[in-house]
Amino acid sequence: MKIKMLYGKEGLDIQVPEDATVLRTEKVKPIYDEKSALISAIMHPIQKAPLAKLVNAQSRVVITHSDITRATPNRRILPAIIQELEDSGVQKQNITLINALGTHRKQTPDEMRMLLGKNIFDNYRCIQHDAFNNSMLVNVGTSSFGNPIRINKVLLEADVKILTGFIEPHFFAGFSGGPKAILPALAGYESVYSNHSYHMIAHPNARFNITEDNPIWEEMREAANMIDNTFLVNVTLDERHRISGVFAGDVIEAHKAGCQFLRKSSQVEVETPFDIAVTTNSGYPLDQNLYQCVKGLSAAQGIVRKDGAIMLLARCEEGLPPNSSYSKLLEKAETPEGILNMLSKPGFMEPDAWQVQIQARILHHAEVHVFSEGLSDQEITSAMMTPCRDIQGTLQNLIGHMGKRICVIPEGPLVMARLKQQ
């Protein structure tokens, strides 16, 4: 059976046994007129006054947006929002766009033009969040988990804060979008690290599809509620990155509506664990490096038996990435056991520790084989995984000693798969 996997920008065709189980999201009809749908949602928001009633000619407005590691269609979302603001009297010079990087690297000017479009980048104030610049962060309170929350100063100084993004399954926050636009996206590094700490990540509810009673998401919600005058504009996307739904209004309630919409198409249950799972990281832009691909591995872990096998197909054009905290932590720890021992030490706080922790959990559960044209064998081995250069040969070998129950997840972490008894 021939299956097209989401891989890089072009996809990848593979052959799998005819009796393999293929897990996909249900097809959702994309929105034909995206701009009209965006304007309509902004004019008729969920549990919030329309955006036009929240601003006036003197309003200072900040619009936050995702960075290049996310598939958010910024170039289609942002013009509609800006048009609505200017039609409502907001002056161009009073509109600021913030690249909500969290602790990710800053984008180059060329990357910013690609992300926003030349017109927006050249004609509006566009800045990038810096989680490590104390002068640009303000303490807004302490969460019920005892963690101080510091947030971007420019955001806080705005009269109206418009938080954009897209909702997809998230491997430890339940879903992306919503309050994640504040924490971690616009928070200080120590607020990100405490939210993504060893004990928070280790919580049994820090998983796909869970928000309520998930401590990571609960603290994100608390942080979002510390910020006044916010307005959410989130979208859902199909596998071709076309907008399938628009959810605007109150940060929590609009996000909740979007999560419910997504569950209907993305939630899949299986009767018993598989011996082998073949997965992806949903292609570009999410499979640009191996660090991000822990999400695709997490999507498969929950439905693969203990000591089974996961095969990841990911382009990884940026490598691990090189010289990152992720690769340094892997090198320092040397083994999955070493990772968990290192990260669980009191007071340990390093960038990307959460990703390495989840990777160690997966490696304890199953063998991981990686096919990637962007990674060398040495890089894959340094990440404690097994290189694969022949997909068919590796798959046949795994069937021979693992078993014949195979599932294929072409869209990777866009599918929320779980066992029925869970």
Catalytic residues: 104, 170
- Where helices occur in 188-227 by DSSP H, the ranges are 189-195, 198-202, 215-225
Q: How far apart are CA 31 and CA 295, in angstroms?
A: 27
| Contact criterion met (CB below 8 Å) for 310 and 369 | yes
| Contact criterion met (CB below 8 Å) for 385 and 368 | yes
Which residue bears the tokens 């609960």? Answer: 218
Greatest Cα pair distance, the chain, in angstroms, is: 69
Q: From 205, 206, 218, select the one nearest 145 (Cα to Cα).
A: 218
Token pair belonging to 35: 């701009």
| Contact criterion met (CB below 8 Å) for 167 and 176 | yes
Q: How far apart are CA 394 and CA 374, in angstroms?
A: 18
Bridge partners of 64?
98, 163
Residue type, 268: V
